[in-house]
Structure 1
Amino acid sequence: MKLSFEYGQGLMEANLPDNTDVFIPGETVPDPALLQNIEEETRKSILNPIGVPPIAEQVKKGSKVTIIFPDRVKGGFQETSHRKTSIPIIIEECLKAGVEKKDIKLICSNGLHRKNTKEEIKSILGEKVFNEFWWSNQIVNHDSEDWDNLVDLGRDDYGSHVIMNKEVFESDMAVLIGHTLGNPYGGYSGGYKHCSTGITHWKCIGAHHVPHVMHRDDFTPVNNHSLMRKKFDAIGQHMEKCMGKKFFTCDAVLDTYQRQIAVFTGYAKEIQPLSWEVADKRTYVPWAEKKYDVMVFGMPQFFHYGNGMGTNPILMLQAVSANIIRHKRVMKDNCVVICSSICNGYFHDEEFPAYREVYDLFQSDYHNTLPDVEKYGDYLSNKQEYIDKYRFNYGYHPYHAFSMISCGHIAEMNCSAIYIVGAQEPGYARGMGMKTRATFEEALKDAEKYAGKNPDILALPKTFKTAAVHLMMK
């Protein structure tokens, strides 16, 4: 059969055996039904929160409100997106309760991601909210290196060092706008994952995005009960304990195309299991009738973390690992991955400034596996050049590269071979321990030494163009 897979700015064709099984999120198995009256249902959820008082009982004139919203990485940009629907309702309810407009601050929870540009913020929030709050400096990106706006909360029950956004900490009501969407890091986005990664410091994120957490048996395949997930919850609840108040959390369960299936509002500890129960119906898909020897997919240049993710060698391997984490339940042990990537040496140094240095470190000084370079996390995360590029030049924080190498090694832990197909500069892929071939057909032929002559093949077109699921046995 002929299939097309993402490759750079376009597609690459593959001739695969006719017995190849194909899965496309939202198409092969339809998503659950969408909310029909999105604004009405969102408003109903916000006005009837679970486990916390309604907005009208929490704030009054003089109250300071922070609204924390996710960055451009996920959540959609359509006019009915969760951010564009929920935030105006929350602002309206605050104003009704007497809050003055000047006392409302909107904070993009970019965490260690690069700060979002003015144009991106506008696309996330919509023209109306943007124009009402941007020009008065009431919309900002979180800055995890701005010590004038961070507060050190000590250590939580797991020993994680919790450092959070000071404006959020000091506000009278802190609103988390989140998305319950399948995520290889701890099962789902939203809930306490949102605050524990989005408005913290790299040392806090370094408590869970690290090898000793991510390389445990409870991390792969993805699930909602790993140590990572427990750390997210502990950090978020430690914040609440120190703040003396609960986050007012409004999470939407999203489908393949970032549209709302359900909305839950209230105390994160209570709404997480409710949102997960609904999200499980879309995310954990009992579909496979056999386990597969080979997984085939493609990688565009621009997805998820940004332009260059599909060419930056560390992020290429992280993306391969993400598919292993999601689909491990349907793959045989020591499976083979075949993935198209233009792999042309484009790191996008402006957006991912520390990545080239981390890659070069991996090539030298007795670094045999990715976790060997973890020891440089403190050094590079304190390098002023990279901190300045994160703070002032829309670059990813240097520690982000180290959180990604922890994930990248998972592919090596679970695969007998990883092939990059169509690389223009194949040495970058080989430098990450991946094999290179010119075509899918050549890679599949070479993979016979690992998977045999008639392997069971799982093909995943659009795997990085849609919100992924976690495949399971039927």
Structure 2
Amino acid sequence: MARPGFVLEVDDRTPPLLVADGPRARLERFPLGTEVVYPAESLARLDDLVGAIDLALADPEGTEPLAARLRPGMKLTIAFDDVAATPPLRTPDVRGRIIERVLIQAAAAGVDDVELICANGLNRRNTEAELRQLLGERVFRSLYADGKLTNHDAENRGRLTVLTPASEAGSDAGAEVAINSRVAESDLLVMVHLVHGIGQGGLPGDGLAAVTAGLGSVGSIRAERGLDAVLSGSAEHRRRAGEAVAAAVDVFAVEAVLDNDNYPSSVDFLGKREWEWSWSAQAKLLGLSRITALAPARYTRLLNARLESGYGVTQVTAGAPEAVAAASRSRVLEQQQVEVTGQADVLVLGVPAATPYSVQSVTDPVLAAWHALGFSYQSATDQPLVRDGGAVIVYHPLAQDFSSLHHPATIDFFADVLPTTTDAAELAERFEDKFADDPWYVQLYRTSQAFHGLHPFHLWYQLAAAVQRLGDVVFVGADRGSAERLGFRAASTLADALEITSATVGRTPRIRYLHTPPNALGAVT
């Protein structure tokens, strides 16, 4: 039986603890009394993944079996997560395994009008090599050359169908609900989704609203992720979008819940508790620390990019989207929830080398800030792990290193917009439309591997919700210019960071360290 997560109180016998620090591997000694939230060990993996997929398709939640919904002459569309869903999975990817089983049933039912769409939303287009790795060689070769395997294009008005015109949006005036035309014209949409947490980049499919998130127009996605929606927590647009999709499309969801083994076997000791490391593991970490400290950034990025994650699958569920999302959420909570007592004064977080939006790319300062405050800070089931007015201390170098291929809009956002203001409301009012409509950003999104021009704004809105509640944010070992540009502060060491935050939280604060990855969800009691 897997051991649950727990909270360790640091004492004089506690060894230095591993902290994710971007591309660097760091061991840190924490002050006595620090509460360390350790994630749980993984739940048992499925022994027979193919058998579990077939069983889920044959015995779905809240609807009839997939085979009963397939018939000759129908239009079948299968949509699936893009590479931002997880770090690279071991080949064959579970999404490819699921899609292959769906295609086998479709062929048996005489369905010959089938298309696959990568539900990338406003994320970058997935490359040919990424699609091949994700789907497997047989599925890729069967569909790609004939144009039956494509990336979604939220800017292609000719390939979008409006379900709810903006003029009918009521209180949400100006926000259309529009989706990919192929999806809207389909007799059945099968949505394939991976789940490895609750939060941006790995949340359960969220029912029918997931269709607009991955396959919607720019306007639909903008309404869902705009500043007002993020800060208010309003679900009005998501509810209306779900209703519009339900009225137009028959959706069958399939979700696979991943375990907590995100490190590959070569470095899986990084996901274990420090006092359980073997001598060989300690030697590996020493070598890894020296390499990441001395090698140029491009080589450490290459090293991390080549590491496939060690994830396995603990559950496969299929059926009605809302029922499937609920089942996935329950499994994630079973695996990742860790009870903690009360809220801390200081929360310490680390940013790993690869984030959901830097797969095969660079974790620039904006992405690092988002991962800390828009993702890790939200790793709680109810209230945050740190009190309102408290402080967050983050480990990341914040090097001014950007990807001109993947994040051209973020380069300009960091260089031209943030020096003017870091206030989310002012950003939205003064700059969002310019970036959303800029023809160069649109062209790069549609024809290259660039994220949409709105992407840095949506990240900023998500982290702004945390900044509003905090009294201080300090990055350890970070480029001071980058930290200042982001509106935060920098410190050389943890001790310096605690000294800086003492004016906010006092000289004897309650400190809590969220020891991730792997993922953990704090349940504050």
Q: How does the TM-score come out when normalised to structure 2?
A: 0.80
1:307 Cα deviation after fit: 5.4
- Whether 1:89 and 2:101 are equivalent positions in the alignment is yes
1:222 is matched with none
Q: Is 1:162 aligned to 2:173, yes or no? A: no
Q: Which residue of 2 aligns with 1:371?
A: 425
| Alpha carbons 1:5, 1:461 under 8 Å: kept | yes
Structure 1, residues 48-90: CA drift from partner, whole Å, max 9, x if none?
A: 2333343333333322211100011125623464312211110
Q: Structure 1 residue aligned with 2:514, among 453, 460, 474?
A: 460
The answer to whether the aligner puts 1:324 opposite 2:377 as a matched pair is: yes
Q: Indicate if the aligned counterparts of 2:195 and 2:202 stay in contact, CA closer than 8 A.
A: no
Aligned pairs for 1:274-353 within 5 A = 274-283=327-336, 285-306=337-358, 311-321=363-373, 322-327=375-380, 328-353=383-408
2:29 pairs with 1:15:
yes
Alpha-carbon shift at residue 309 of structure 1 (Å): 8.0
Identify the residue that residue 470 of structure 1 maps to in structure 2.
Answer: 521
What is the rounded CA distance, in whole Å, between the counterparts of 1:311 and 1:162 in structure 2?
Answer: 32
The 2-side partners of 1:197 and 1:377 are apart by 19
8 Å contact 2:82–2:119 — kept in the other structure? yes
Q: Does the 8 Å CA contact 1:178/1:194 hold for their aligned counterparts?
A: no
- Matched residue type, 2:406: E
Quick check: 2:119–2:214 contact (8 Å CA) kept in 1? yes
Q: Which amino acid aligns with 1:242?
A: A
Distance 1:470 1:213 in 2: 23
Alpha-carbon distance change, 157 to 91 in structure 1, aligned in 2, over 3 angstroms: farther
What is the identity percentage for the equivalent residue pairs of Structure 1 and Structure 2? Answer: 23
Alignment-derived partner of residue 203 in structure 1: 219
Q: Which moved more, 1:262-271 or 1:273-282?
A: 273-282
Q: In terms of mean alpha carbon deviation, does 166-175 or 185-194 score higher?
A: 185-194
Note closer, same or farther for the CA distance 1:371–1:137 as it changes in structure 2 (3 Å cut): same
Q: How far 1:412 moved relative to its partner?
A: 1.5
Return closer, same or farther for 1:109/1:158 CA change in 2, 3 Å cut-off: farther
Residues 178 and 250 in structure 1, CA contact (< 8 A), matched pair in contact too = yes
Offset of residue 368 of structure 1: 5.3
Cα deviation, residue 304, structure 1: 1.3
Cα 1:294–1:336 shift into 2, 3 Å: same
Deviation at 1:98, TM superposition (A): 0.4
Task: Provide Cα deviations, 1:102-160, integer angstroms capped at 9, x if missing partner.
Answer: x2111110110001111111221122222222232221111111222111122567744
The 8 Å contact of residues 343 and 386 in structure 2, kept in 1 or not, is answered as yes
- Measured in 1, the distance between the counterparts of 2:472 and 2:18 equals 22
Match of 1:223 in 2: none
SS of the equivalent of 1:264 reads strand
Deviation (angstroms), 1:196: 2.1
SS in 1 for 2:177: strand
- For 1:3 and 1:368, the matched residues in 2 are separated by 33
The answer as to 2:57 corresponding to 1:6 is: no
Asked if residue 192 in structure 1 is aligned to residue 208 in structure 2, the reply is yes
Give the conservation status (yes or no) of the 8 Å contact 1:422–1:438.
Answer: yes
343 and 94 in structure 1: CA distance in 2 versus 1, 3 angstrom threshold: same
User: What displacement does 1:384 show?
Assistant: 0.8
Q: Quick check: 1:55–1:97 contact (8 Å CA) kept in 2? A: no
SS at match of 2:223: coil
Q: In 2, distance between residues paired with 1:372 and 1:316?
A: 22
CA contact (8 A) 2:194 2:202 kept: no
Shift in Å at residue 187 of structure 1?
A: 9.1
Q: 2:246 aligns with which of 235, 240, 247?
A: 240
Match of 2:134 in 1: 124
CA contact (8 A) 2:36 2:515 kept: yes
Q: Is the 8 A contact 1:264 1:271 kept in 2?
A: yes
- TM-score of the aligned structures, taking structure 1 as reference length: 0.88
Shift of the 172–77 alpha-carbon distance from structure 1 to 2, 3 Å rule, reads: same
Greater Cα offset, 161-170 or 257-266? 257-266
- 1:262 aligns with 315
Q: Give the gaps of 5 or more residues in structure 1.
A: 220-226
1:140 partner amino acid? T
Query: Aligned residue for 2:84?
Result: 73
Task: Please say if residues 320 and 411 of structure 1, whose CA atoms lie closer than 8 Å, have aligned partners that are also in contact.
Answer: no
The aligned amino acid for 1:380 is F
The CA distance in 2 between the partners of 1:315 and 1:248, in whole Å, is 33
Deviates more, 1:76-85 or 1:196-205: 76-85
1:137-176 pair list within 5 angstroms: 137-155=147-165, 159=172, 160-176=175-191
Determine the structure 1 residue equivalent to 2:452.
Answer: 397
Q: Give the Cα separation in 2 of the matches to 1:310 and 1:444.
A: 29
Question: Displacement of 1:213 after TM fit?
Answer: 1.9
Q: CA deviation at 1:185?
A: 4.7
Please say if residues 380 and 398 of structure 1, whose CA atoms lie closer than 8 Å, have aligned partners that are also in contact. yes
- The AA in structure 1 aligned to 2:330 is E
Q: Give the alignment partner of residue 437 of structure 1, picking from 464, 469, 491.
A: 491
Deviations 1:306-365 (A, max 9, x none): 159875333232222222222443322222111121212112232111112223443455
| 8 A contact 1:81–1:259 mirrored in 2 | no
Query: 8 Å contact 1:308–1:347 — kept in the other structure?
Result: no
Rate the CA distance shift 1:250–1:392 in 2: closer, same or farther, 3 A.
same
**Contact persistence 1:16–1:441 (CA under 8 A):** no
For the residue of structure 2 that corresponds to 1:197, the secondary structure is helix
CA contact (8 A) 2:84 2:359 kept: no
Deviations 1:396-420 (A, max 9, x none): 0011122111112123112111111
Letter in 1 for 2:244: H
Distance 1:405 1:11, change over 3 A: same
Does the 8 Å CA contact 1:303/1:309 hold for their aligned counterparts? no
Paired AA for residue 275 in structure 1:
S
User: Secondary structure of the residue that 1:333 maps to in structure 2?
Assistant: strand
**What is the CA deviation profile of residues 439-458 of structure 1, one whole-angstrom value per residue up to 9, with x for unaligned ones?**
22221232222222232222
Count matched residues.
Answer: 451
2:70 aligned residue (21, 35, 59): 59
**Counterpart Cα distance in 2 of 1:393 and 1:81:** 24
**Structure-2 residue corresponding to 1:39:** 50
What are structure 2's unaligned runs of at least 5 residues? 1-14, 262-310
2:470 matches 1:415 = yes
1:253 — aligned with what?
257
Q: Read off the aligned partner of 1:152 and give its amino acid letter.
A: V
- After superposition, the Cα gap between the structure-2 partners of 1:232 and 1:174, relative to the gap in structure 1 and judged at 3 Å, is same
The answer (yes or no) to whether the contact 2:256–2:317 under 8 Å persists in 1 is: yes
One-letter amino acid of the structure 1 residue matched with residue 94 of structure 2: H
In 2, distance between residues paired with 1:35 and 1:299?
A: 30
SS of 1:51's equivalent? coil
